[in-house]
Structure 1
Amino acid sequence: MKNRFTAFLAHLALSGLVAALAIYIVFFVWYPAPLHTAVGVTQIFLMLLAIDITIGPVITLIIYKPNKPSLKFDLTVIALLQLTALCYGMNTVFEGRPAFVVFNVDRFDVSRAHEIDPASAAKAEKNDNEPGKISWLQPKWVAAVGSKDPKRRQEILFSSVVGGADWPQLPELFVPLADIKKQMLERAKSLAELRKLHRKDPDILEELATWKDNEVKWLPLHAPAKDGVVLVDAHSATVIQSLDIKPWP
């Protein structure tokens, strides 16, 4: 029984190390805060991870016998099944990661990897449009501008009307945020307005007290699970930080 419990602890410790690496990749690379909350991946991913890292060691605890002839084979099968389940979960999370945070007219929109229009992504690659190239790592902060081609503008309009791809899902339209600095600053709102919106929440007011009104403005962040705000420099329009604060009344 002692050997069985030792094997269980060893398997659990190894699974924990793998889980720690997975957590780092998901929450610090693919879904940097607060995007994991905005997209709604936190609970689902942690639940899948908890199941995956515990079920393998538990099976090891049940089947482990030091002198069992097929022990190595059994442990190998368990490890492979556990790794396969982890890879499947990680791939699902990877496909749903925020590929871009796109400034769109008067707000930022989170665009997940599986929402990006493949044809538009291919066009961005072909035209060597760096802002429109999907990264395997952290999401890119970009802006979307209208197409210069009237026919293409009309196609995009019709697509958006019927629920198809719109500006935030079309990498061919992406440009660096610096290119639309003036528009961003015109659309950005004062911190005083955000404080007024949350005047009954002392925690949010304390968080916002870090920044000065004449130095920072904000824009709404629209996301699938939970909206937030993006703080930008009041003079350069450089993105400072995104916050898990409701931008709407």
Structure 2
Amino acid sequence: MLITKLKASLLHLLISAIVVSCFAGFALLIWYPSPFLQISGILSILLILVSVDLILGPLLTFIIYRPKKPKLAMDLAFIGIVQIAALGYGMYTIHQGHPAYIAYTVDRFTLINIADVNPLDAKHTDLQASGWWKPITVYSQPPTDPSEKERLIFEVLEGKPDIDARPEYYEPFDKFANKVMQKGLTAQQLSSTPESNQKLEVFIAKHGKTTNDYAYLPLVGKEKDVLWVWDKATEQPVGTLDIDPWRLSNVATNG
């Protein structure tokens, strides 16, 4: 009997693992490419989803499974329905929490969740995020018209989204990349504390070049903020530094 229970439970585990792995792989590669998973605040939900589907379902199968049990098929179907419902809810939550845009505004990049914007508001069709694919890096261009500026300020004061979550102000990032590469924290600021200096040295040893060859730009997430490091020559991101950019800025200023 025990062997039979184990076989049924392991089969359930195998099926669950295949389904969860396919979804988790898609979510990590498409919705949350590095470094967005680490700072999005969604990792705990993903872990709960994996735990429920890989542990609870097979465990219940192990408990109830008996080959000659009456209505066994109905009991297994009920477990499957509960498991599918939990998976569906988890998938929906993870989808709603994933960044549709990485918007650069003033001095920082910010993760903008698909649930917080209407991509169809973007005036450039190629910036109308599908919501099912990778996040798009954009540049938030403030309005130049004084009346529109005033209107935007009043709307924000009334509780409406700020410019970083307003697709109507989005512009292709590559048009402004060179300008953005001149901003961010300096290598001198990064060397202002022993901890940040050590992390910078490790990064340079791994990626090469010199500290001045990179732009160190704040990346604002839901869980925490880090520094997103871009290669100035290629205007492409190369990694992150697990450093609070605002604390480091204050230390450098006070120093």
Name the CA distance, whole Å, in 1 between partners of 2:197 and 2:144: 45
- Partner of residue 143, structure 1: 139
Distance 1:193 1:203, change over 3 A: closer
Q: Does the CA-based 8 Å contact 1:99-1:112 persist in structure 2?
A: yes
Partner of residue 185 from structure 1, selected from 169, 181, 205? 181
Q: Indicate conservation of the 8 Å contact 1:220/1:230, yes or no.
A: yes
Tell me whether 1:219 sits opposite 2:223 in the alignment.
Answer: no
Q: Give unpaired runs (5+ residues) of structure 1.
A: none
Distance 2:146 2:129 in 1: 24
Match of 1:154 in 2: 150
**In the alignment, is the contact (CA less than 8 A) between 1:132 and 1:175 conserved in 2?**
no
Where do 5+ consecutive residues of structure 2 fail to align?
249-255
Q: 3-state DSSP class of the match of 1:240? A: strand
Return the offset for 1:159. Answer: 2.3
Deviations 1:107-156 (A, max 9, x none): 1111111122x3xx3332xx443124344122111111023554443332
- 1:144-175: CA deviations, max 9, x gaps? 10235544433322222343211111111111
> Identity over the aligned pairs, expressed in percent?
28
Structure 2 counterpart of 1:131:
127
Tell me whether 1:244 sits opposite 2:245 in the alignment.
no
Cα distance, 1:197–1:34 mapped onto 2, change above 3 Å:
farther
Aligned residues: 244
1:72 aligned counterpart, secondary structure: helix
Task: Look up the match of 2:54.
Answer: 53
CA distance in 2, matches of 1:207, 1:109: 22
- Distance in structure 2 (CA, Å) of the matches to 1:193 and 1:138: 32
Deviation at 1:198, TM superposition (A): 4.8
Letter in 1 for 2:62: L
The 1:233/1:97 distance shift into structure 2, 3 A limit, reads same
**Of residues 230, 233, 236 in structure 2, which corresponds to 1:232?**
230
RMSD: 2.3
Q: Show the counterpart of 2:29.
A: 28
**1:192 CA drift (Å):** 3.9
Counterpart amino acid of 1:172? Answer: E
| Matching residue's letter, 2:183 | R
Query: Which stretch shows the higher mean deviation, 220-229 or 20-29?
Result: 20-29
